[in-house]
Amino acid sequence: MDPSPAKIAIIGRPNVGKSTLFNRLIGKRHAIIADEAGTTRDQISQKFECQEYKCILIDTGGLEYGKQENIEADVQSQANIAIGDADLILFVIDAMSELTVDDFTAASILRKSEKPVVLIANKCDNESIEENSYNIYELGFGEPIKISAIHKLGIDELNSAIVDNLKKQGYKKEDHSEKETKAPKTTSICILGKPNAGKSSLVNGMIGMEKVIVSEIAGTTRDVTDTEITYNDEKYNLIDTAGIRRRGKVESGIEKFSVLRCLSAIERSDIVVLLIDGELGITAQDCHIAEFALQEEKGLILAVNKIDLMEDGDEARDYMLRRLIKKFAFAPWAPVVFISAKNRKNIFQLLELSKEIMVERNKRIDTGELNAFLQKTTMKHLPASAKNKKPRFFYGTQVDTNPPKFVLFFKNPKNLHFSYPRYLENEIRKNYGFGGTAINLTFKNKNAEEN
């Protein structure tokens, strides 16, 4: 049997509690939950273990009857793709209400797929399940497993049903004793930008298929979606995020949750690709988004998208590059790439750069060599101070990688001029590189734990 994880898709009409069940099974709040029907648009997938069976759980938008238009049609398409890819379907219905035409439509689609299906009656919080269950058997999937995802009722029984189905398909428990200790690390790349900058188009271009919904409607992506790919034998996890609008423009409710989810995505990434709309130019919001990445000390790539729409060719790019240097003076080490996500031009250069940046993020400088360099550097430009107690450098060491972190011990470090840390960072970069990544310099008093 293929050792790859089993794919389990959660299917059902809108607002039956699919995302609540998704969060319950993976053990954390990942999918956005709201009373508004149709909250989930893209496929959201997450790895999880079900009684030591490796699985990938996929949350989907709700299946509805009738011809949908624009983005809702794409939502339906995403759900159907998930069904086609899945090894097991969790078909969720709402036990608190009567079955609808959408439930029967979803059941018909699932029967035609010939995939194994576990029928789940959610929201079984009281006796009303008996009142609404008289025609459940008409769906054609037998006795449902009764659960309350929000109250964690029936989840153990559901997990057992999942495991029984996986056993029938030949899946086996993960053998922890045979795990490869030298398995290549997956580089997580978070794609950020304003709404409609082309983030989902970039992901689609890299994976070569329409997993993520692409639309001209700004704000299409509400959730954070993870997509693992392999390029030149290197593994990458692409994290597509919702567009981050200016704080005053962010609406309460679902969009606010999406922005918070973006910040969480930055935390678990190694590198942030800031996608800038080349047609609209650089805005203050682009710089604000970049600051999120720097606060988390991530790698950073500035990607100017839609170069196919930029007039005057090289002249326009030169102008844009000058603007980038000026606007992003706080991160002069961040590389710039001009791409067209739509035409897939230069998009894989982002992965090649990411590989190089990861080398820099994992670089470690020998303590002896670092101290010889720092002694020379601080003597070349002595620490200045307006106060009587002058700061003086003693020694330094690199304490961590990914991101690179340095601790520098000074006498009277609190009296260092505000420009001196930047001077030292620039000199370290000139000598050792660390291109494409933030680095952390911590200044401590030689005779104290912290300054």
Q: What's 301's domain CATH number?
A: 3.40.50.300
Q: How many domains does the structure of the chain reveal?
A: 3
Regarding whether 173 and 199 lie in a shared domain, the answer is no
Q: What is the DSSP letter of 219?
A: T
Q: Would you say residue 268 lies in a domain?
A: yes
In three-state secondary structure terms, 125 is coil
**pLDDT confidence band for 155 (50 / 70 / 90):** very high
What amino acid occupies position 144?
P
110-129 in b/e burial notation, b at 16+ Cβ within 10 A? beebebbbbbbbbbbeeeeb
| Euclidean distance between CA atoms 308 and 404, whole angstroms | 37
Which whole number is the average pLDDT over 152-159? Answer: 92
9-40 residue pLDDT tens: 898 888 888 888 998 898 876 554 444 454 44
271-330 residue pLDDT tens: 999 999 888 888 887 888 888 888 889 999 999 998 876 666 678 888 888 999 999 999
Regarding whether 144 and 20 lie in a shared domain, the answer is yes
- Dump strand ranges (E) for 347-436: 392-400, 405-411
Regarding whether 222 and 352 lie in a shared domain, the answer is yes
Q: What is the pLDDT of residue 430?
A: 94
Q: What is the pLDDT of residue 450?
A: 44
Q: What is the pLDDT of residue 245?
A: 52
Regarding whether 328 and 242 lie in a shared domain, the answer is yes
Q: Which two tokens stand for residue 368?
A: 């002896």
233-248 residue pLDDT tens: 888 999 888 766 554 4
Report percent pLDDT > 90 for the chain. 33
Q: Which residues span the domain enclosing 139? A: 6-178
Regarding whether 173 and 195 lie in a shared domain, the answer is no
Q: How far is CA 88 from the centre of its chain?
A: 25
Regarding whether 92 and 233 lie in a shared domain, the answer is no
Q: What is the pLDDT of residue 436?
A: 95
Q: What is the DSSP letter of 223?
A: S
Regarding whether 273 and 130 lie in a shared domain, the answer is no
pLDDT at 403 over 50: yes
Mean pLDDT of the chain: 80
CB 108 within 8 A of CB 159: no
Q: Would you say residue 1 lies in a domain?
A: no
pLDDT at 110 over 50: yes
Domain end (from 178, 206, 225):
178
- Dump strand ranges (E) for 5-132: 6-11, 44-50, 53-59, 88-94, 117-122
Q: Which residues, 6+ apart, have CB-to-CB distance to 401 below 8 Å?
A: 361, 362, 363, 364
Q: What is the pLDDT of residue 62?
A: 67
Domain end (from 340, 361, 382):
361
| Euclidean distance between CA atoms 269 and 298, whole angstroms | 7
Q: How many CB atoms lie within 10 A of CB 221?
A: 24
Q: Which two tokens stand for residue 227?
A: 């997509």
Regarding whether 440 and 336 lie in a shared domain, the answer is no
Regarding whether 212 and 117 lie in a shared domain, the answer is no
Regarding whether 30 and 168 lie in a shared domain, the answer is yes
**CA-wise closest residue to 439 among 384, 365, 355, 339:** 365
Which whole number is the average pLDDT over 79-90? Answer: 81
CB 121 within 8 A of CB 136: yes
Regarding whether 65 and 132 lie in a shared domain, the answer is yes
| The dihedral formed by the CA atoms of 308, 310, 313 and 319, expressed in degrees to the nearest 10 | -140
pLDDT at 217 over 80: no
Regarding whether 74 and 198 lie in a shared domain, the answer is no
Q: What is the pLDDT of residue 388?
A: 72
| Euclidean distance between CA atoms 443 and 413, whole angstroms | 6
CB 407 within 8 A of CB 399: yes
CB 379 within 8 A of CB 372: no
What amino acid occupies position 101?
V
Q: What is the pLDDT of residue 253?
A: 39
The CA distances from residue 436 to 21, 300, 421, in Å, are 39, 6, 19
**CA-wise closest residue to 241 among 297, 273, 199, 197:** 199
Question: β-strands 53-59, 44-50: how paired?
Answer: antiparallel
**CA-wise closest residue to 266 among 328, 342, 191, 355:** 191
Answer positive or negative: Cα dihedral of 63, 66, 72, 74. positive
The answer to whether the pTM exceeds 0.75 is no
